[in-house]
Amino acid sequence: MELAELIALRPRPAGGVLVTLTRRCPMSCAHCSTASTMETREEPDPVQLLAFTDSFTPADRPEVLLLTGGEPLLLPETAARLARSARAAGTRTALLSGMFFARSRKVPDRLLNAVAELDHFSASLDAHHEREVERAAVFRALRAVRETGVAVSFHLTGTGPDDPYLADVTRAVDREFGGTVPALVNEVRAVGRAAAWAGPARTTGPAAGPGGDPGPCAMAAWPVVAFDGTVLACCNQDVVDRRPAPAHLRLGHVAGDDWATVRRRALESPVLRMIRTVGPVALRSRYAPGAPGAAVAPRTGSSCGDCRALGSGAGPAPEVVAVAGGAAGALLDATAARRAGAAGPVALVRRYGCAAYAPLVVARGPAAPAAPAVGGADERSGSGAGARADSRARTGPEVSG
């Protein structure tokens, strides 16, 4: 499964499911969206997770299971079991790693055995990661991963399109792999440890359109299993971490809900359908939760904040149910998903990631042009010098998301 195919599935409601295996991580990057440490033992029950993936069937399953963390490869056997369980129903598995294991000259066999069960492997690389694991070591380890036959990619993040680090690292990836390894490039997100220092530019949600409304939200398409086992409709880090979760974004819990139940709730919710088709800003501007046609409170300043605020009332306005409920709502939802899918993975990354580098989501090949020359970066190799935030940003396209 190549990166472009994975990203193209992102707007499809219930087209995938994102599972946070653990909040633990052996690295202490200053940008970490989950503020992970090795002491934070917050993770879903692996037995419950396996029961959840065992509930996938060939007739009712997500197309992809995305494993993340923290560092999911701290639990390689669990990752492998989940991948095998998913594959039995026809679901493919992708995993995002911070590459802590690249510190060793040789990738441990138990990790390679787990990776061999995957369909896609993505390596996080950025200025903060490079202070803990050298770039050359990450390249070496990714080559070993690719030798297992698994498709690979990079997840890169910088401060924005003019970040010299991004210009440098994308050139380095191109030189090392000859344009055959794609990359998802995201921007700084002021969440987790980065909340204390990241700049204010586009900290949440997609880029706004000319009228200031970012429009439909594709990030409300895939269910997300959070660190406590709660299943949510959104990958925004505030939603993943805070309890209670907004009622309209809570889909269940792996302790008692199977995939069919989670999928049905995700697909049939009138509020989620409206978030995916017109977006939370437009929805909140027209309907106050539980108060038909009433004016709503002032905007929160972000589309994600507006979305969370939709859960502050007793329930969706009757007009929302009338518009987005039943077969008509299902058709609107499916039409919006098809439109987003037809635009392709590059368009999706332009909207949610770093637009200047969006074409890198598709492997270019050795004869293709190099990455955009932005920021006046020099030809450094080894550790990068810019600031980067949130390799696992839940507001990005993965999951990301």
pLDDT tens digits, 22-43 = 999 888 776 677 666 677 778 9
Contacts of 320 (CB under 8 A, 6+ apart): 270, 271, 274, 283, 287
Contacts of 191 (CB under 8 A, 6+ apart): 33, 203, 204, 237, 238, 390, 393, 394, 395
Looking at per-residue confidence, does 294 or 107 come out higher?
Answer: 107
How sure is the predictor about 250, in pLDDT bands with cuts at 50, 70 and 90?
very high
The confidence score (pLDDT) of residue 276 equals 93
Encoded amino acid at 298, one letter: P
- Percent over 70 (pLDDT), the chain: 77
How sure is the predictor about 175, in pLDDT bands with cuts at 50, 70 and 90?
very high
The confidence score (pLDDT) of residue 294 equals 40
In this predicted structure, the answer to whether residue 200 has a pLDDT above a threshold of 60 is no
**Which stretch, 215-229, 276-290, 305-319, has highest mean pLDDT?**
215-229
How sure is the predictor about 389, in pLDDT bands with cuts at 50, 70 and 90?
very low
Average of pLDDT values for 288-311? 60
The confidence score (pLDDT) of residue 320 equals 82
Q: Is the peptide bond before 70 cis (omega within 30 degrees of 0)?
A: yes
Q: What is the rounded distance in angstroms from the CA atom of residue 230 to the CA atom of residue 325?
A: 25
In this predicted structure, the answer to whether residue 352 has a pLDDT above a threshold of 50 is yes
Q: What is the rounded distance in angstroms from the CA atom of residue 185 to the CA atom of residue 31?
A: 15
Average of pLDDT values for 173-202? 77
Q: What is the rounded distance in angstroms from the CA atom of residue 319 to the CA atom of residue 251?
A: 22
pLDDT tens digits, 49-61 = 999 999 999 999 9
Check if the beta carbon of residue 18 is closer than 8 Å to that of residue 235.
Answer: yes
The confidence score (pLDDT) of residue 385 equals 28
Average of pLDDT values for 355-375? 70
Apex CA 71: angle with CA 40 and CA 129, to 5°? 105
Looking at per-residue confidence, does 259 or 291 come out higher?
Answer: 259
Q: What is the rounded distance in angstroms from the CA atom of residue 98 to the CA atom of residue 82?
A: 19
Looking at per-residue confidence, does 397 or 316 come out higher?
Answer: 316
The confidence score (pLDDT) of residue 381 equals 33
Nearest Cα neighbor of 279 from 341, 344, 332 is 332
Strand partners, 60: 57
In this predicted structure, the answer to whether residue 221 has a pLDDT above a threshold of 90 is yes
Looking at per-residue confidence, does 279 or 15 come out higher?
Answer: 15
What structural domains does the chain harbor?
3-250+344-361 (3.20.20), 268-341 (no CATH)
The confidence score (pLDDT) of residue 27 equals 83
Q: What is the rounded distance in angstroms from the CA atom of residue 129 to the CA atom of residue 47?
A: 31
Q: What is the rounded distance in angstroms from the CA atom of residue 18 to the CA atom of residue 400?
A: 9
Check if the beta carbon of residue 41 is closer than 8 Å to that of residue 24.
Answer: yes
What is the per-residue burial (b if ≥16 Cβ within 10 Å, else e) of 65-79? bbbbbbbbbbbbebb
